[in-house]
Structure 1
Amino acid sequence: MLYLTSRNDLMADAFFIWNRQLMFASLHGRDADMLSFQAQLQVSNERLGFRQPEEVLSCPRLTTAEYCLNLSKFMTKYQTLNYGSVTHMFLYSDILIQPNFDSKTGWVMLDDVTADLDKAAWQLVQQLSDIPLLEHWQNAVLSLLEADKSIMRFTPRIDEEYAVVGVQAVRVDIPEDFDVRLTAMLQSGRLHT
């Protein structure tokens, strides 16, 4: 399913909007429309977004990306017989690319909406953790991190929290006292070596 953006006749087959910030978009459109959209990304925040300011929002407010900051892009063209040259552009927030090992935060985004987000989250937790983690600790450690919202899952839906279509994502933020918590779990017997 393609979603029509309100600017430049662009179509989105996947997007992720969180806190009114565009995190990811897969856009399709004619070359001129794509160039016009890219030019609009360079203007001030008041004019950004996928909707014109005067438009009445029929969808939830979160389907509008009001902030399009720190975005990178990847573009490709494909030929179609009926429409001429069509451009496919991926826009993505820079924070999605590389985990921040200083702050111990990172993201994983998957284009398979049926893939196991727990597996992706666990691999990222293992990457970010200073402490080696045993595989059989996965469920207990993920439950611990989910309890204090150190792991946030973004599955396909559009509601008041976020808008995700065609992808899914997970954000991991390792707390500063992670080693203390693991030690307590080992001492209490919740984790076994």
Structure 2
Amino acid sequence: MLYLTSRNDLMADAFFIWNRQLMFASLHGRDADMLSFQAQLQVSNERLGFRRPEEVLSCPRLTTAEHCLNLSKYMTKYQTLNYGSVTHMFLYSDILIQPNFDSKTGWVMLDDVTADLDKAAWELVRQLSDIPLLEHWQNAVLSVLEADKSIMRFTPRIDEEYAVVGVQAVRVDIPEDFDVRLTAMLQSGRLHT
């Protein structure tokens, strides 16, 4: 399903909005409309909303990004016989690109909405951790990190917390006392070497 944007007759096949911040959008449209949209993002704090074609509201509250800051873009054009040149643009927040090894935070975004988010989260935890982690610790460590919201999953849905369509994401934030927690889990027998 394609979603229409609130501005410039662009269509989105995927987007991610969290805390009213646009994190990611995959947009399609005519070249002139895309350029006009980019100019609007540069000069004003216009809201970017997404809606289904049958919805009458121009910007449904739950699918509106009020903050479009620190975005990078990747653009490509594809030729169509009926409509002329159509542009495909990916807008993405800079924090999605590279894990921050200083603060031990990172994101993984997947375009396959059926892919295993646990596997992606575990790989990121292993990258961010200063401590080597054994593969068979995955379930126990992920459950502890998820319990204290150090791992946040963003699966396709639209609600008060976030709006995700066409993608899924996971955010990992390794706590400062991660080594202490692992030691306690080893001592209690919850983790085995």
TM-score calculated relative to the size of structure 2: 0.94
Assess, with a 3 A threshold, how the Cα gap between structure 1 residues 181 and 146 changes in structure 2: closer, same or farther: same
Instruction: Please list the CA deviations of residues 85-138 of structure 1 after superposition, one character each: whole Å capped at 9, or x if unmatched.
Output: 000000000000000000000000000000000000000000000000000000
Structure 1 36/52 Cα, relative in aligned 2: closer, same or farther at 3 Å? farther
Q: Displacement of 1:63 after TM fit?
A: 0.2
CA, structure 1 residues 177+105, in 2 after alignment: closer, same or farther (shift >3 Å)? same
Instruction: Please give the alpha-carbon distance, in whole angstroms, between the structure 1 residues aligned to 2:53 and 2:65.
Output: 12
Q: Which runs of 5+ in 2 are unaligned?
A: none
User: Aligned-pair distance for 1:53?
Assistant: 19
Percentage of matched positions with identical amino acids: 97
8 Å CA contact retained: 1:40, 1:47: no
CA contact (8 A) 2:7 2:48 kept: no
- Structure 1 window deviating more from structure 2 (37-46 vs 120-129): it is 37-46
Contact 1:29 1:86 in 2 (8 A): yes
Q: Which whole-Å CA distance do the structure 1 matches of 2:179 and 2:120 have between them?
A: 21
What's the offset of the Cα at 1:45? 2.1
Q: Which residue of 2 aligns with 1:182?
A: 182
Deviation at 1:52, TM superposition (A): 16
Structure 1 gaps of 5+ residues are: none
Deviation at 1:6, TM superposition (A): 1.5
The alpha carbon displacement at 1:19 in A equals 0.3
Q: What is the alpha-carbon distance in structure 2 between the residues aligned to residue 180 and residue 186 of structure 1?
A: 10
* Contact 1:29 1:88 survives alignment (8 Å): yes
Closer/same/farther in 2, CA of residues 55 and 41 from structure 1, 3 Å limit = farther
Q: Distance in 2 between matches of 1:63 and 1:166?
A: 13
CA gap of 1:46–1:12, structure 2 versus 1, over 3 A, is closer
2:42 partner SS: coil
Query: Distance between the aligned counterparts of 1:52 and 1:158, measured in 2?
Result: 12
Partner residue, 2:130 = 130
Is the CA contact (8 Å cut-off) linking 2:4 and 2:50 kept in structure 1? no
CA contact (8 A) 1:60 1:158 kept: no
Offset, 1:27: 0.1
Shift of 1:46: 5.2
Deviation of 1:44 (Å): 2.9
